[in-house]
């Protein structure tokens, strides 16, 4: 057994996660010291002393684990039991191959921007907010009128949006909802933010890429009486007209364990079919008249 200590996290409400954990845990415990198993997202991880975290599930499980770790982020090794597995890109079979090697140090760690979100304007630098790894989004609700929002960057007016909603995304989240809404793909290790309006009413409201060193405030002027702020597509908070939220770079970074042979563009090609040519119909090599 190696001297490494690890936590095993996941979402027991997802099909197959509890069963996979039951099969894998005896094998994992023969390789390393498992200091915590939490498939219900109930534990305070800030009290745990571990070297890294093994997350069973899909990308949603990793997003949840990142927020659960709070301001004490540990490197994450993700095992894909979900549908896409963009972050959790190891299969169970690959885990059996690679976990012994990871425990011996055969891996690298990539570091990624996380957000802190606050209600209202930005507080002092020592105040901690709600964390997000993918994005902070504002969506309209019933009666589904368009939202009128002001964007301020470092307190200065930057843009006004009339749209169904708006997504403030990290580079990790740029391949998620932001991409579906027309935003660009960002290199995952960039220190950047992309702001993407959802169905904007105006051709001038294109996605904006900006440095993550800035502070971004969104003020809801008018629109739905039931607008909602959503963190990572999982945690929702109401946003009333006249109120605002502020998003800034968190003082911690998400850390993702990558094994040899894994790369961002390889994942884009395999998971999203990015950069591939159309499926052309084969034609006769002879010239047709």
Residue 59 annotated among the catalytic residues of the structure: yes
170 vs 134: CA distance, rounded Å: 6
129 vs 70: CA distance, rounded Å: 10
- Residue 168 phi/psi, 5-degree rounding, is -105, 115
Q: Which three-class secondary structure state does DSSP give residue 104?
A: coil
Instruction: Give the end-to-end CA distance of the chain in Å, rounded to a whole number.
Output: 72
159 vs 210: CA distance, rounded Å: 13
Tokens 């950047």 -> residue = 192
Q: Which two tokens stand for residue 23?
A: 């099969």
Torsional sign, CA 191, 132, 175, 39: positive
Q: Which of 38, 59, 135, 164 is catalytic?
A: 59
What angle (nearest 5°) sits at the alpha carbon of residue 274, between those of residues 235 and 175?
15
Pairing of strands 165-169, 192-198: antiparallel
Q: Which two tokens stand for residue 108?
A: 């690298």
Those residues whose C-beta lies under 8 Å from the C-beta of residue 174, and which sit 6 or more positions away, are 183, 184, 185, 186, 188, 194
What angle (nearest 5°) sits at the alpha carbon of residue 264, between those of residues 106 and 83?
95
Question: Which residues are designated catalytic?
Answer: 59
């Amino acid at each position: 057994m190696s001297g490494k200590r690890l936590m095993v996290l996941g979402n027991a409400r997802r099909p197959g996660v509890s069963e996979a954990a039951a099969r894998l845990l005896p094998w994992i415990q023969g390789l390393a010291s498992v200091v915590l198993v939490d498939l219900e997202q109930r534990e305070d991880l800030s009290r745990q002393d571990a070297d890294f975290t093994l997350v069973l599930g899909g990308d949603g499980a990793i997003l949840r684990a990142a927020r659960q770790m709070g301001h004490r982020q540990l490197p994450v090794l993700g095992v894909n039991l979900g549908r896409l597995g963009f972050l959790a890109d190891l299969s169970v079979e690959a885990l059996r191959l690679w976990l012994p090697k990871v425990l011996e140090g055969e891996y690298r760690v990539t570091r990624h921007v996380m957000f802190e979100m606050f209600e209202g304007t930005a507080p002092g630098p020592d105040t901690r907010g709600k964390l997000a790894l993918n994005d902070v989004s504002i969506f309209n609700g019933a009666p589904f009128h368009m939202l009128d929002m002001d964007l301020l960057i470092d307190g200065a007016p930057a843009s006004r949006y009339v749209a169904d909603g708006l997504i403030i995304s990290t580079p990790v989240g740029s391949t998620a909802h932001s991409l579906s809404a027309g935003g660009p793909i960002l290199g995952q290790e960039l220190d950047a933010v992309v702001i993407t309006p959802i169905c904007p009413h105006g051709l001038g409201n294109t996605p904006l890429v900006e440095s993550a060193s800035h502070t971004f405030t969104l003020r809801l002027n008018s629109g739905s009486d039931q607008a909602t702020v959503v963190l990572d597509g999982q945690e929702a908070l109401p946003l009333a007209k006249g109120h605002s939220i502020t998003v800034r770079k968190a003082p911690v970074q998400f850390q993702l364990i990558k094994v040899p042979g894994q790369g961002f563009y390889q994942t884009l090609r395999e998971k999203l079919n990015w950069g591939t040519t159309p499926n052309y119909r084969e034609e006769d090599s002879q010239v047709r008249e």
